[in-house]
C-alpha cells in the first residue's frame, strides 16, 4: 500500500579496489531499495579537474586546492543527504580524506559503517567508536544493509 523508503548510502574512501562494485552487485542481487553514491573515483580526473576546467597553476598546492574545491561540492552534498555513510580504509596510502569524511559524517549525526582490515583496529579506534558497525568485507556491508533496510538476516 505505502511506498517503501528508498535509502541513500554514500561510499567513501579507498578507490584502488573493487569494493564499491561488490557492494553494488550485492545490493542489486538482494533487491534492496538503495541508491549508492560515491566521490569521483577516477583518480586522475579527481586530481586534475580544477586546473582542467579553471586554468593551470604553477604551484601544486593551488592546483590541488582548485581540484579539492570541486570535489568537495560533490562529496559534501552527497554525504549531507545520505542516510548511511560507509567508509573504507585500504592497505595503502594515508587516506586522510576517508577519515575526514568519517568525521564530517559523524558531526552531522549520520549513521556510519567502517570497513577495514583488523590490523587497523587500534589506529582507527576513534573512528570506529563513532561508527554503528565495523566490518571487514563488502559482503558484510551488504548484509548490514539487508538487515537494517529490509529486516533480513540470513
Of the residues 6, 16, 43, 117, which one makes contact with a copy of itself according to CB under 8 A: 6
Residue 120: CA count within 13 A, CB half-sphere: 20
**Cβ–Cβ under 8 Å, residues 137 and 115:** yes
Residues 29-68 that bind a copy of itself (CB under 8 A): 34-37, 40-42, 45, 48-50, 52-54, 57-62, 64-68
Q: Which is nearer to a copy of itself, 17 or 56 (CB)?
A: 56
Q: Which three cell numbers stand for residue 145?
A: 544493509
Q: How far is Cα 97 from Cα 118, in angstroms, rounded to an integer?
A: 20
* Short-list 132, 45, 42, CA closest to 87: 132
Cα Rg of the chain (Å, integer): 16
Q: Does 15 bind a copy of itself (CB under 8 A)?
A: no
Q: How far is the CB of 140 from a copy of itself (least distance, A)?
A: 6
Could you say which of 22, 30, 90, 128 contacts a copy of itself (CB under 8 A)?
128
How do beta strands 7-13 and 133-135 pair?
unpaired
Site string for a copy of itself, 89-118 (x = CB under 8 A): x---xxxxxxxxxxxxxxxxx-x-x----x
Compute how many residues bind a copy of itself; rule: CB under 8 A. 92
Amino acid at each position: 500500500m505505502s511506498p517503501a523508503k528508498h535509502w541513500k548510502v554514500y561510499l567513501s574512501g579507498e578507490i584502488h579496489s573493487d569494493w564499491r562494485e561488490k557492494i553494488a552487485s550485492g545490493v542489486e542481487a538482494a533487491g534492496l531499495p538503495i541508491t549508492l553514491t560515491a566521490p569521483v573515483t577516477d583518480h586522475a580526473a579527481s586530481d586534475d579537474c580544477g586546473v582542467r576546467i579553471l586554468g593551470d597553476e604553477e604551484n601544486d598546492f593551488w592546483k590541488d586546492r582548485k581540484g579539492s574545491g570541486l570535489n568537495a561540492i560533490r562529496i559534501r552534498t552527497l554525504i549531507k543527504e545520505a542516510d548511511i555513510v560507509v567508509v573504507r580504509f585500504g592497505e595503502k596510502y594515508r587516506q586522510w580524506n576517508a577519515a575526514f569524511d568519517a568525521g564530517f559524517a559523524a558531526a552531522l549525526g549520520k549513521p556510519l559503517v567502517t570497513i577495514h582490515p583488523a590490523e587497523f583496529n587500534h589506529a582507527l579506534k576513534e573512528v570506529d567508536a563513532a561508527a554503528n558497525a565495523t566490518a571487514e568485507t563488502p559482503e558484510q556491508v551488504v548484509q548490514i544493509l539487508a538487515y537494517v533496510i529490509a529486516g533480513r538476516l540470513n
